[in-house]
Amino acid sequence: MRRGCQWLLVLVLLAAAAPAAAGPAEAADGEEDWMSRQAIQNRKHGLRHELGIALGTIPIDPFYKGLCGTAQYTFHFGNSWAWELFNVGYSKNFWTSLRKDLEQNWRNPASPQVIPEVEIFGDSNLVFKPLYGKLAYLNRSLVYGEFYLAAGPAVAWYNTRYDRLSVGADVGFGFRVHLSPYWSVRFDVRYYRFQKLAKKDSTGDDVLFLQLGMALNLGGKQ
């Protein structure tokens, strides 16, 4: 009888110790599973062929300010990468007060100097889209958007009489807010560095460009 009680006590102790022994193993497995899982929600809006128009500005040149209109076409390979095949713009320029003062008081009529202004520009960029998410708008609706980076070659046509064509590159970033499966709003910031092709002129031109526009998505899976 005592031997039976002893075996029963051993079984009770083993049963009590089993969960304690299994607990760390389960915790380790759970931690490993948590580390291997990716808690990423699928994108609600898929992009493929994107057509866009925008209004922009060249805001920081001390001699002129530009009001620009642009058009773009972008092909999206997937959720992370895209190719902005072209972004072409025209700039309507306006003199600043500094430029007017220089023209009226300091310009030499015998040897006039034309201050270069960007009139037409274009670029083709590789686009990387690392961030996508959603925000709650007044706790009433969800707003979906993405952040992206862009870089690529660029060209510009200036107002100078000779050597009007310049080549260079641009880098920048942007943010998109989806309004519907087909429409979105884009805000872009681009920095351009242009160099004239003439060998005798080694000067470069730095241009900051800001634009806000609408984009139409065609062919993306929703």
* pLDDT at residue 136, as a whole number: 85
Rounded Cα gap, residues 159 and 144, in angstroms:
41
Q: Kindly tell me the burial class for residue 181, based on how many C-beta atoms sit within 10 Å of its own C-beta (0-12, 13-18, 19 or more).
A: middle
Rounded Cα gap, residues 104 and 39, in angstroms:
64
| 100-104, 198-202, 217-221: least confident range | 198-202
Yes or no: is domain 49-218 CATH 3.40.50.300? no
Going by DSSP bridges, is the β-strand pair 81-95/118-137 parallel, antiparallel, or unpaired?
antiparallel
pLDDT digits (tens, 9 = 90+) for 75-96: 999 999 999 999 999 999 998 8
How sure is the predictor about 71, in pLDDT bands with cuts at 50, 70 and 90?
very high
Report whether pLDDT(57) > 70: yes
Can you give the pTM of this predicted structure?
0.76
Task: Using the structure block, give the residue that is written with the tokens 């993405």.
Answer: 146
Q: Kindly tell me the burial class for residue 221, based on how many C-beta atoms sit within 10 Å of its own C-beta (0-12, 13-18, 19 or more).
A: exposed
pLDDT digits (tens, 9 = 90+) for 101-141: 877 776 655 445 678 899 999 999 999 999 998 888 887 88
DSSP per-residue codes, 116-145 = P-EEEEEEEEEEEEEEEEEEEETTTEEEEE
Rounded Cα gap, residues 217 and 177, in angstroms:
13
CA nearest neighbour of 60 among 207, 159, 218: 207
* pLDDT at residue 161, as a whole number: 74
* pLDDT at residue 152, as a whole number: 97
Task: Please state the separation of Cα 167 from the chain's center in Å.
Answer: 22
Token pair of 135 as six digits: 């925000």
